[in-house]
Structure 1
Amino acid sequence: MHLALLYTFFAAIATAANIGAQDLTTRLYTGPYHILLSVFIGTGVGLVVKYVLDKKWIFRFKAENARHDATMFTLYVTMGLVTTAIFWGVEFGFNHIFGTAEARYIGACIGLAIGYVIKYRLDKRYVFRTFTTATRA
């Protein structure tokens, strides 16, 4: 139960970082494709925040060196491709249907919540599997 609450808390932090980065981007740049750019930047910010929190506090992962950490981050990003598609689909869907920034951000929060539930299972099974299995067995 403690782990679930901690994961939820970290998901909320990463979501806030993502939405904050999106909002800042759209305030600073209003040119062509500003929404798409903001979503890319927000996704990147949220991804890095979530990875740092998850690897230390959820999966208790310690990289052997920078190369090992980069490999794990690459696996983490790869598992995130499916969940990112869900998140973007909901966010862009809300943007298309309602046409406001607020609705787009609500869609982003819903999409991220769905994605994070799936992502935890993928990360536990495919990314941090060796480390998790060895330390939690």
Structure 2
Amino acid sequence: MSGPALAAAATPLNRSRLVVWYATFAALSIVANLASQKLSFWLYSGWLAVPLSVCVGTGVGLVVKYMLDKAWIFRYPHRSVAHGLQTFTLYVVMGLGTTALFWAVEFSAQAIFHTEPARLAGGALGLTLGYLAKYHLDKRFVFA
């Protein structure tokens, strides 16, 4: 990056833009997560299909959200590869509780309604609630 693009990337987001971009990136991550779940479930529909698809979706959503948050929300540079791995590890650790919340809502929807659309809707709701909490954890502990 150079010139105006570099200046724009270095400029902190005001509160309203931050909310809009964070919500946009959360939505993109949710779509990546649920689409990965759907694809995984389509490729394998055996007895472990639901938990496997949720794990695949969680991994895909995690990587998408991390890359977007790091670059655009927190504008966080890594000093080295080791620092980047340490930051990603901390990001994952901060997400354990929010992932538990997401999974609890998704699996509850599955247990109550026994349909894939209900499970995915529960997943979207759980992810939304989790991302609300995760922003504050990431701001305070990961990208401080």
Report TM bin, short chain.
over 0.9
**Deviation string, structure 1 residues 86-118 (Cα, Å, up to 9, x no partner):** 000000000000000000000000000000000
Determine whether 1:83 maps to 2:83. no
Determine whether 1:97 maps to 2:129. no
State the secondary structure of the residue aligned to 2:27: helix
Runs of 5+ unmatched residues, structure 2: 1-15
Other-structure match for 2:139: 124
Runs of 5+ unmatched residues, structure 1: 130-137
Other-structure match for 2:46: 31
Q: Match for 2:89: what amino acid?
A: T
Cα drift, residue 32 of structure 1: 2.1
Aligned equivalent of 1:50, options 65, 85, 102: 65
For residues 73 and 100 of structure 2, what CA distance do their matches in structure 1 show?
23
Other-structure match for 1:40: 55
State the secondary structure of the residue aligned to 2:76: coil
Other-structure match for 1:12: 27
Cα RMSD for the two superposed structures: 0.5
For residues 11 and 18 of structure 1, what CA distance do their matches in structure 2 show?
10
Q: 4+ residue runs of structure 1 moved beyond 6 angstroms? A: none
For residues 49 and 128 of structure 2, what CA distance do their matches in structure 1 show?
24
- The alignment of Structure 1 onto Structure 2 pairs a total of residues equal to 129
**TM-score, reference length from structure 1:** 0.93
Aligned equivalent of 2:125, options 66, 90, 110: 110
Q: Match for 1:52: what amino acid?
A: M
Q: Match for 1:6: what amino acid?
A: W
> Aligned residues: percent identity?
52
